[in-house]
Amino acid sequence: MSQLTTVDATFLNAETGTTHAHIAGLGIVDAASCPDGRLTVGRVAELVRNRAHLAARPLRQRLVQVPFGLDRPYWEDDPDFDPERHIFEIGLPAPGDDRQLADVVAMLHEQPLDRSRPLWEMFLIQGLLGGRTAVYVKVHHAAIDGVTAAETLAALLDLSPEPRDVPADETEPARAPRPAEMVRAGLLNTAMHPVRSVLSVARAAPYLDEIPGLSAIPGVGLVSSVVQGALRRREVPRAPRMSAPPTPFNQPIGRRRSVACGELPLDDIKQIRRGLGGSVNDVVMALCATALRQWLDKRGELPERPLVAAVPVSLRRRGNRGDGGNQVSVMATRLATDVPDPADRYVAVRRDMDRAKRRFTGSSGSWVQDMSGLLPAPVAGALTRLALQAAPAMSLRPINLIVSNVPGPQFPLYLCGARVLGYYPISVITDVTGGLNITVFSYDGKVDVGIVACRELIPDPSEIVDHLVDALDELRELAREALEERALKERAVSGE
């Protein structure tokens, strides 16, 4: 038995008629390698049934609400858990191309999850060209973060076509407290909430300028610096003032979604890193900066100021398993979309990312946990939704979009004997974070790109994928020139 953390509960509270807080992945598998040449609901359900206990919370635990909404909900094992209630099969009409698949995935991503049972669903999408099958899985963010998502994938996937032996489940089912106990704990937590809120504000005060949106307010940086000085934390770099400019995708979002997927060679990205310096993540951010610059410029909507991106970061320490709820934070950075020269743009992205990382390292990024617990549970849901809905009307725009880079295994994985050819993450959009989300996942020599957007604002995000490919070509040429120039200098030095 465990209770949702304040961050977990925030993902629940943030849901509205246009915002759903589930995250998803789209796996493409070679179904021909399955027994009988087909991936079936029964086979996948049996796999989940046998391995659900290996995964962290999401697969078999459901929410239990506290009476009168006095406190955050609890998790317990669903006594009626049946994987086949969560797994569905649909077919694409001929020809079964990638555009049809993207439209189906967008439609599935628009639908909320049923909170009366474990918060996940899986769809086997048959009929893809080339004998492939798509596996779309969505899980509520209240139940999962990046680490637990990786653990869940590891529980279900194998390193070879032959499934591994799995130990039997010998754990006792987790049960939520009795209603009277939940009410008693809820009343106590409500009574203690003012004290906890004061402590949360005190912990967050030195890092107010790190919170997207607040850093643009005059005086916030000075307040943070003064508090840091009083606490003798002068080693923490000062966060730059960032103001997200208006864009076509920073408007109130609708119910509909659009989805696009693509892939980039990881070796090319590593070559760019070797030629131009920085990290793989720096290259990914620079590619996104160039792609968004091209997309906006093509529409005559390129702002004079750089876009501001939020980059999710895990707070889990190495060796800490995926329990204890969401342990995530966010760092904000400029994307240098205002820089016309590609080489200068790359340098600017590297500089801004380095500054954001140094600032994040110095502050630990704990402000997300601190700020998520400011509101008492009985009113947190209503006030959170009100704030999210009011933000667009008040032109509050802390960031332009979320860009996330998730490292994955560089070897093939298998689902029920079928090789996983690609895995494309599909994440969340909101009125506050923008109607566009770009998430990439490195897998088996590729960087798989998943883009989700508000259909009313970006009807066809595949155009952004095309721009990412163009941006890769551009940076690859710059890296080639840099490597050749470096080699010439080395030969000249050795010749001397």
Query: Can you give the pLDDT at residue 236?
Result: 64
- Name the strands in the sheet holding 436-443, side by side, starting at the edge strand that comes first in the sequence: 257-265, 446-454, 436-443, 401-406, 308-314, 328-334
Please state the pTM of the whole predicted model. 0.93
Active site (annotated) includes residue 141:
yes
Please state, in angstroms and as integers, the Cα–Cα distance from residue 241 to each residue in 127, 140, 216, following that order. 50, 33, 5
Asked if domains 2-173 and 244-410+428-494 share a fold, the reply is yes
Query: Can you give the pLDDT at residue 287?
Result: 98
How many residues are recorded in the chain? 496
Query: Can you give the pLDDT at residue 84?
Result: 96
Sign of the Cα torsion 332, 333, 334, 336 reads negative
Other Cβ atoms less than 10 A from the Cβ of 19: the count is 19
CA pair distance 391, 121, nearest whole angstrom: 31
CA pair distance 153, 51, nearest whole angstrom: 11
CA pair distance 67, 429, nearest whole angstrom: 30
CA pair distance 214, 218, nearest whole angstrom: 9
Three-class SS state of 77: strand
Query: Can you give the pLDDT at residue 234?
Result: 57
Other Cβ atoms less than 10 A from the Cβ of 250: the count is 23
Q: By CB neighbour count within 10 A (0-12 exposed, 13-18 middle, 19+ buried), where does 103 fall?
A: middle
CA pair distance 259, 102, nearest whole angstrom: 5
Helix (H) or strand (E) holding 329: strand 328-334
Options 20, 109, 140, 141, the catalytic residue: 141
Query: Can you give the pLDDT at residue 120?
Result: 96
Q: Which CATH architecture best describes the domain 2-173?
A: 2-Layer Sandwich (3.30)
Tokens of 472: 């890769």
Q: Which residues contact 169 (CB under 8 A, 6 or more apart)?
A: 52, 53
Residues of the chain scoring pLDDT < 50: none
Domain spanning 244-410+428-494: CATH superfamily: Nonribosomal peptide synthetase, condensation domain (3.30.559.30)
Q: DSSP alpha helices (H): ranges in 277-341?
A: 280-298
Query: Can you give the pLDDT at residue 470?
Result: 98
Q: How far is CA 249 from the centre of its chain?
A: 18
Query: Can you give the pLDDT at residue 279?
Result: 96
Q: Which residues contact 240 (CB under 8 A, 6 or more apart)?
A: 215, 334, 352, 355
Q: Give φ, ψ of 204 to 5 degrees.
A: -85, -20
Domain boundaries, the chain: 2-173, 244-410+428-494
Query: Can you give the pLDDT at residue 75?
Result: 95
Query: Can you give the pLDDT at residue 230?
Result: 65
Cα three-residue angle 146-43-151, rounded to 5 degrees: 15
